[in-house]
A and B are shown apart, each in its own frame.
Chain A
Amino acid sequence: MREKKQWLIVTFYTTSAAMAAEKACEQAGLPGRIIPVPREITSDCGLGWRTEPENRERTEALFQSLALETDGYHICML
């Protein structure tokens, strides 16, 4: 298995929101990628945006500026 480290995982209520987030981050030059939401966050399935924890402020500001609805911001060892 890969060595685990801390990540910021942003979760969403819909796949559509996850896609909007991915596109927004790509356009803003914010690194990260879409992953399946880890079950330690929720057992509810869905897609999350994974990025380095230090990107939280920029990511949150970006999503807020776009009125992009998020379910939550989580720090996980993955």
Chain B
Amino acid sequence: MIYLDNAATTLHKPSCVIDAVVNAMRTMGNSGRSAHAESLAASRTIYAAREALADLFGCARADHVCFTANSTEALNIAISGLFAPGDHVLSTDLEHNSVLRPLYREMERGVSVSFLPASRKGCIDYAGFDRLLQANTKAVVCTAGSNLTGNLLDLTRIGAFCAAHGLLFVVDASQTAGVFPIDMRAQHISVLCFTGHKSLMGPQGTGGLCVAEGVDIRPWCVGGTGVQTFLPSQPPQYPTRLEAGTRNGHGIAGLLAAVNFIRETGMDAIRTHELALARRFYEGVKDADGVRICGDFSDPVRAPVVALNIRDEESSVMADALAEDYDIAVRAGAHCAPRMHEALGTVEQGAVRFSFGYYNTEEETDAAIAAVRELAEQ
């Protein structure tokens, strides 16, 4: 099987990740609940993961790295915990439902949101942020890169805009964490939401949010913390503030191993490999008869994702043919990105998304090219 659905989740994990999870499941107790060796092993591992992720993302404080089950949960925490009725928020058409639905829910309680429109190529005009800015604008909430087209947003530019106007900057790094450098301090990011199981190559059920100093997020979930037991409310200190209940210590042990793997392998080497495969695939299929590629490929720096359609063939039929006849795993449909499909004009058809990971090869890429070209000829 050729797995090209890495934007959904990376199927192939570094063996050190699997080993770390298995070892954790055999040895780790509950973090922060006791001082015996097994509990401390969990506490130390989770703290080491906070340090590693703070270092990876340029988060000023390791104790401001809060773990969640995924980036959706992290985004829910950030978006539901930062705004009040009367606030205005800027976002974009590139967003995944993990950003959109929490924002829509905020709109129901009196927060207004303006979405910077995407072009037919799925790109935004950054000057639009200035035009949409209001006196009550509190934040920009946006993705680091479209999960559908692979086009990146310029976080440095948007961060500078936020800094200039005193706005919070909430970033969904689901598609870029571990592959593209992120520096919260340099890019003025207030809250960075990430998931562990995609480009970070960690286990599913891991993710989190890194919070800049001085950013106060109201807790979304409250409960057991192992500390300050007789305090009726959730402890105000990070990370406990946003971490009620037992953390996924086993998964976080795997995530720590994944971050260490990325450091040792080199983010540049990983990115170069993945982008080369995606570009190879793009070049191999873009001129095939009837193939229409989604997004803008003029900038070589983009997430390793290529979404396409063949004439008016339904994307789910295409994906099923690729799975059944070619043993190639891709994702069809709307990819939880409704506004982006509206911008691209692919609401009815959806798109077939090929997404490349560190463990893919040129041979697999060439096989996928051949499959698409063959399907396009039919």
Are B229 and A15 in contact, CB atoms less than 8 angstroms apart? no
Are B240 and A47 in contact, CB atoms less than 8 angstroms apart? no
The residues in B between 207 and 246 inclusive whose CB is less than 8 angstroms from any CB of A are: 226-231, 235, 237-240
Are A47 and B35 in contact, CB atoms less than 8 angstroms apart? yes
Q: Is B185 an interface residue (CB 8 A)?
A: no
Are B231 and A14 in contact, CB atoms less than 8 angstroms apart? no
A44 and B231 CA atoms in complex are apart in Å by 8
The residues in A between 12 and 69 inclusive whose CB is less than 8 angstroms from any CB of B are: 12-20, 22-23, 34-36, 43-47, 69
> If A34-B35, A34-B40, A35-B35 touch, does A16 touch B62 (CB 8 Å cutoff)?
yes
CB-nearest residue of chain A to B44: A19
The A contact surface, by secondary structure, is mixed
A12 and B32 CA atoms in complex are apart in Å by 12
Number of interface residues of B (CB under 8 A): 23
B43, B44, B62, B237: the one contacting A13 at CB < 8 Å is: B237
Q: Please count the residue pairs between chain A and chain B whose beta carbons lie under 8 angstroms apart in the complex.
A: 64
A63 and B5 CA atoms in complex are apart in Å by 46
> If A16-B47, A16-B62, A23-B47 touch, does A45 touch B237 (CB 8 Å cutoff)?
no
B43, B228, B240: the one contacting A19 at CB < 8 Å is: B43
B contact residues around A44 at 8 Å (CB): 227-231
Q: How far is the CB of B63 from chain A (nearest CB, A)?
A: 4
Q: How far is the CB of A19 from chain B (nearest CB, A)?
A: 4
Beyond A15-B31, A15-B47, A45-B229, 6 additional pairs, beta carbon < 8 A: A13-B237, A15-B240, A35-B35, A44-B227, A45-B227, A46-B32
Give the B-binding residues of A (Cβ under 8 A): 12-20, 22-23, 34-36, 43-47, 69
Which 10 residue pairs spanning A and B have beta carbons closest together? Answer: A15-B32, A19-B47, A46-B227, A16-B63, A13-B237, A14-B240, A36-B35, A45-B229, A44-B229, A44-B228
